[in-house]
Amino acid sequence: MCLDKIALVIGGCHGIGAGIVETMAKTGYTVFFSYRSRKDEAVALQDRLCSEGLSVKAMYGDFADESCINNFINGITCIDILIVSAAINHKEAFLSYSIEAFKEIMKNNLFMPFLFCQKIAKKWIDEGKKGRVIFISSIRGETPQLGRLGYCCSKASLNMMTKCAAYELASYGITVNAIAVGLTGLGMNKHLALHSDDKWREREEKIPLGRTGQGKDIGNTVVFLADEENDWITGQVITVDGGHLLKTF
């Protein structure tokens, strides 16, 4: 159990983020998590976990610009672990991919994590705190996918940002790691998993361990990286994919 530690999960009301929130709360963390357009889901998750005696709070956050991020961070008095799970996707062929769509994905999937990491790291340095930053990345940061130019590029950039930030923040005792997530039936893939049985089974057959990922698979890895006993791990992009990339290569 990790008592008296506060975790902030950006993008925690559904999908992988919700799995992280639940796993960390059950491990003993006090968990704040952000939502923007899914208030009902956020409140339902908060209420369910609180009814189990866990410490969880949903917070509205619209991170349209830097000032919004500042205001959100200032609303939490103490943060020990930052997890950035929020991301968007856009499917379009390379030759017709718009610069507007590319910019929007990079803004949400790269610039927003960068700002959260930078600003919270500055707070930790001022406070003399050795915090943890964990980015939720994707195996698509290593392997291309048709029609996913922006998403793949944003995750590849996030992986490199993880290494650069970890290198620069190591002298302050701050660790920065990322989790490259494989195929899950959550978030962006939930509709396909629920309504396209044959196509979904075909995807599952490509995974050596025989199933797609669940929220707890990612949540357990986050808990491992957040544990203060594992403070010699930094700058790593840990793949959690059931062995999927083994068949890719």
Catalytic residues: 151
Polymer length in residues for the chain? 249
Bridge partners (DSSP) of residue 141 are none
Residues with Cβ within 8 Å of residue 232, at least 6 apart in sequence: none
Q: For the chain, where are the E strands, in sequence order? A: 6-10, 30-35, 56-60, 81-84, 132-138, 175-181, 237-240
Q: How many CB atoms lie within 10 A of CB 228?
A: 11
Burial status of residue 37 (CB atoms within 10 A of its CB: 0-12, 13-18, 19 or more): exposed
Q: In what order do the strands lie in the sheet with 56-60?
A: 56-60, 30-35, 6-10, 81-84, 132-138, 175-181, 237-240
Q: Give residue 106's identity as a one-letter amino acid code.
A: M
Compute the half-sphere exposure of residue 103: CA atoms within 13 Å on the CB side of its CA: 3
